[in-house]
Amino acid sequence: MFLKALTIEGVRNLRSPELHFDKSLSFLVGANGSGKTSVLEAVSLLCRGQSFRSPNIGTVIRHGKSDLSVWGEVEDEVRGALKVAFRKTRTNETEARVNGEDIQRTSKLIEYLPLQIITAESANLVLGAPKARRRYMDWGLVHEHGAYLAWRREFQRVLRQRNTCLRNVGESGAMHQLDAWDRQLVELGKRIASVQSDYVIAVNAGLQRVLPALMGGDEAGFDVSVSYHSGWQEGDDFSEVIRATRQRDVELGRTVAGPHASDIRIQVSSRLASRIVSRGEARALSQALNVAQAEQLQQATGRRSLFLVDELAGELDAKTRARFLSLLESRRYQVLAASAIELEEMGDLADKQGCAMFHVEQGQVTKRRGVDN
């Protein structure tokens, strides 16, 4: 997809006219607190119906205002021209429209507008808890299996019901109910684990293609692989596992095994990456995972993702930073990158001088140069 134009109202400190982005790289520069991340946040609201910074919309809506709105004009490889509108109020009322048609679930927006978000917290994809990696699988699989999100929602519902049942096994009829929840949990769990497993295999193949371009020949000794962990003992049948662990689950009052505990195991030279990589390596690796995900999406659907890159200058050394942008450029992904440091001061990015350039100052976004309005 190509986000051509963006209009923002009521998002944090921003006051901007309609913004017109470059098909390749658009660069947002400005002092700390000027509003750069807020512009990226507005794009995230448009494409995912949520901010990547705060789950609480009240903190994103401009002080003293009751709602925020974002409008976008998108050119999609498959769906053609799209006009997208998103509005959210302090009381969490949500309206989303694509080409004038109401979107019932904001999760539908994700399917329309594939986005990759890279922020200062990106290293957590490698270093942090499994939840971030499960979300990574979710972002990818949403586009590949129309029913995936529905399966995930249904699985969570069944899991909650089973957990309640586990805590009430003493009540009459509870064991019978538990049998019924087990059957549904196993059925959905196997389905989810199967697509997640296939997905991680595909991502691993993509990663092997992306890493050499990102590491620029420095990848020797940086032999990275990702593999899927289903949330139960490798090779065991999920229905057997659920049967065998029922007593333990009753004692704990919750279901231990299942895709709610799945993970992606990231290894560097056969060692767990989270235990050995540096912060900068973790950020580079997570960026490689983002690109591998975008590549997988493009292969599966023919659609390119939009990349939001916050704090471009953060953590990465100049060479890795430049190689990352070149990689995205060579794959013809659109990029919106923000930085408090001017491009000119980021040595290896001198050749990116031709990109669209926006200056952000106290919430005012002004175009310095680039595509015409």
Ligand X SMILES: Nc1ncnc2c1ncn2[C@@H]1O[C@H](COP(=O)(O)OP(=O)(O)OP(=O)(O)O)[C@@H](O)[C@H]1O
Half-sphere exposure of 190 (CA within 13 A, CB side): 13
What is the closest distance, in whole angstroms, from the C-beta atom of residue 357 to Mg ion in the complex? Answer: 17
Q: Does 37 bind ligand X (CB under 6 A)?
A: yes
Would you say 68 or 207 has its CB closer to ligand X? Answer: 68
Could you tell which of Mg ion, ligand X, none binds residue 304, using a CB distance below 5 to 8 A set by kind? Answer: none
Instruction: Using CB under 6 A, pick the residue from 4, 12, 48, 260 that binds ligand X.
Output: 12
Tokens representing 290 are 């983002």
C-beta separation of 242 from 159 below 8 A = no
Separation CA 336–CA 339 (nearest Å): 10
For the chain, where are the E strands, in sequence order? 2-9, 19-20, 25-30, 67-76, 80-89, 94-98, 101-102, 115-118, 224-229, 263-268, 271-272, 306-309, 334-339, 356-361, 364-369
d(CA 158, CA 164): 10
SS3 sequence, 28-54? Answer: EEECCCCCHHHHHHHHHHHHHCCCCCC
Which option in Mg ion, ligand X, none does residue 321 bind, with CB closer than 5 to 8 A by kind? Answer: none
According to CB under 6 A, which residues from 301 to 340 bind ligand X?
A: 340
> Using CB under 6 A, which of 16, 24, 26, 34 touches ligand X?
34
Which listed option, ligand X, Mg ion, none, makes contact with residue 323 (CB within 5 to 8 Å by class)?
Answer: none
The site that binds ligand X (CB under 6 A) totals a number of residues, namely 16
Question: Is residue 32 a contact residue for ligand X (CB under 6 A)?
Answer: yes
The answer to whether 56 contacts ligand X (rule: CB under 6 A) is: no
Q: How far is the CB of 368 from Mg ion (least distance, A)?
A: 19
Closest to ligand X by CB, 25 vs 308, is 308
Shortest distance, CB of residue 62 to ligand X, whole angstroms? 4
Among 62, 304, 323, 352, the residue binding ligand X under the rule CB under 6 A is: 62
When binding is defined by CB under 6 A, the residue of 17, 18, 33, 269 that contacts ligand X is 33
Say how far apart CA 347 and CA 337 lie, in whole Å: 16
Please identify, using beta-carbon distances, which residue of 37 and 286 lies nearer to Mg ion.
37
Residues in CB range of 50: below 8 A, 6 or more apart: 44, 106
- If one asks whether residue 20 binds ligand X (CB under 6 A), the answer comes out as no
Distance CA 243, CA 246 (A): 5
Applying CB under 5 A, the residues found at the interface with Mg ion are 37
Closest CA to 45 of 90, 109, 99: 109
Q: Which does 16 bind (CB under 5 to 8 A by kind): Mg ion, ligand X, none?
A: none
36 touching ligand X, by CB under 6 A: yes
* Window 336-365: contact mask with ligand X (x via CB under 6 A): ----x-------------------x-----
Run of H or E including 278: none
Strand (E) positions, 42-158?
Answer: 67-76, 80-89, 94-98, 101-102, 115-118
Q: Which stretch binds ligand X (CB under 6 A): 31-39, 111-119, 181-189, 275-283?
A: 31-39
For residues 352 and 13, is the Cβ–Cβ distance under 8 A?
Answer: no
The backbone torsions φ and ψ at residue 59, rounded to the nearest 5 degrees and listed phi first, read -80, -20
Considering CB distances under 5 to 8 angstroms, the limit depending on partner class, which of ligand X, Mg ion, none binds residue 12?
A: ligand X
Asked whether position 50 contacts ligand X by CB under 6 A, the answer is no
Residue 82, binding choice from ligand X, Mg ion, none, Cβ under 5 to 8 Å by partner class: none
Which residue in 194, 204, 184 sits closest to 262, CA to CA?
194
Contact 30, 340 (CB under 8 A): yes
- 51 interacts with ligand X by CB under 6 A: no
16, 24, 38, 290: which one binds ligand X (CB under 6 A): 38
Which one, 21 or 238, has the nearer CB to ligand X? 21
- What per-residue string of b and e applies to 339-352 under the rule 16 or more CB within 10 Å gives b? bbeebeebeebeeb
Binding site for ligand X (CB under 6 A): 12-13, 30, 32-38, 59, 61-63, 340, 360
